[in-house]
Amino acid sequence: MSTENGISHNGAISGTNSTGVVITHSATPLPEGVHLPLYMDNHATTPMDPRVLDAMMPFFMGKFGNAASRNHQFGWEAEAAVEIARAQIAKLIGATAKEIIFTSGATESNNLALKGIAEMYRERGNHIITQVTEHKAILDTCKKLEKMGFRVSYLPVQADGLIDLDDLRRAIVTEGPDKTILVSIMFANNEIGVIQPIAEIGKICHEKGVLFHTDAVQAVGKIPVDVQAMNIDVLSLSGHKIYGPKGVGALYVRRRNPRVQITEQINGGGHERGMRSGTLNVPGIVGLGKACELCMQEMEAEAKRELELRDYLKTKLENAIDYVHVNGNMEHHLPGNLNMSFVYVEGESLLMGINDIAVSSGSACTSATLEPSYVLKALGLGDEIAHSSIRFGLGRFNTKAEVDYVADKLIDVVLKLRELSPLYEMVKEGIDLTKIEWAAH
């Protein structure tokens, strides 16, 4: 779209907002409280809460000490701030402060958990269990471990995204060289929002004497997480998914019943009780701690508000558009997540039609090809339906006015695209597409 003096040929006015993002305003006046571009992709990342930034600011300048410098006030201040954050994080997940290890984010936490446990417990066995819909930070780490000689089982999921607990029980090997040493199942899925039966999984693992790790990035701070009640031995979390800073995360490592040992993957000064060397990111850690404290205080009310907005969006879309399909079990589900397929609509065209709204599509850009999401494929969705899927990630700062804008815009775009769809026209005429023999050219 070409522009001249900030006005495009279709009548939209474009400019740059305070963060340098190029924004395009429709010539039609926007509803009050709605500003473009509009962000509704809070599973990818979240904007930082201003209260988190306020807590971090002193540690960039005046209180800039190294938390490992234990012979002067600058170091003592930094260390004290780190320990406060450690306690704030621990409280949110039902752990103790000594069980919290700081990392650069959840990807590092996942790598440290899987590789560190695999290396430490290699003498006991070489079998690891995970699921096919894990985040790439788990799947790619498992592929690496397979190259190192470990055997990994990838559990399938049912059509609603949940694993079958009997599949897990059958997969666990309790003796011999192939003995299972670790099960890693994500708490809540980043694409479809489905919450796995974590407490039951942990109970099965403990009954069989197997360590249980969960990537809880999407769950911590959004729904109640209790590592004790849920039998979790190791847990990964991240700052930027809960309105904290990017580049900081943590790993919970159980200290008793059982005591979990992890081999460090970054060698250096033996920081973080010998599990993760490196000078601590004090401002980031302070921000992560503050973000956890805010979640502790506001999670219940926030979850209720997000759930209401999500159900409002879902109902509005379902009432206006036929052939829409909600992906994932809606009973065991994150409050702010909604993943919907708009059948008989081409996914790329749909995204282009709502390009002033930040959402996630059912396709992943890999090199030059658009591949359907492996998570949606694992649910049994065909390529066409997976391609027509949108993930809405509602968050702390989204409003009802924004939800109305998104719904109205999407309804308008889908209906226009459907008018251009010969397949949709055939279905409306009662033709069964599965019985058509398409001619090859």
pTM: 0.91
Whether the Cβ atoms of residue 250 and residue 212 lie closer than 8 Å to each other: no
Query: Residue 397's closest CA among 324, 322, 312, 298?
Result: 298
Q: Can you give the pLDDT at residue 25?
A: 46
The verdict on whether omega for the bond into residue 58 sits within 30 degrees of 0, i.e. cis, is no
Q: What is the mean pLDDT for each group of 10 consecutive residues in the chain (441 residues)?
A: 38 45 59 95 98 98 95 97 98 98 98 98 97 98 98 98 98 95 98 98 98 98 98 98 98 97 95 94 98 98 98 98 96 98 90 94 64 94 92 98 98 95 87 72 56
Give the contacts of 402 (CB within 8 A, at least 6 positions apart). Answer: 33, 34, 38, 40
Per DSSP, 174 falls in state -
Per DSSP, 334 falls in state -
CA–CA gap between residue 297 and residue 322 (Å, rounded)? 40
DSSP per residue over 30-82, as a string? Answer: PPTT--SSEE-BTTT--PPPHHHHHHHGGGTTTT---TT-TTSHHHHHHHHHH
CA–CA gap between residue 275 and residue 10 (Å, rounded)? 57
Query: Residue 185's closest CA among 248, 113, 247?
Result: 113
Give the tens place of pLDDT for each residue, 201-213.
999 999 999 999 9
Q: Can you give the pLDDT at residue 363?
A: 73
Q: Can you give the pLDDT at residue 421?
A: 86
Per DSSP, 392 falls in state E
Q: Can you give the pLDDT at residue 440?
A: 59
Q: Can you give the pLDDT at residue 439?
A: 61
Token pair in block for residue 124: 């006991």
Per DSSP, 188 falls in state B
Q: Which of 142, 205, 292, 365 is catalytic?
A: 365
Report the DSSP pairing between strands 249-253 and 234-238.
antiparallel
Give the tens place of pLDDT for each residue, 378-396.
999 999 899 999 999 999 9
Q: Does the annotation count 142 as an active-site position?
A: no
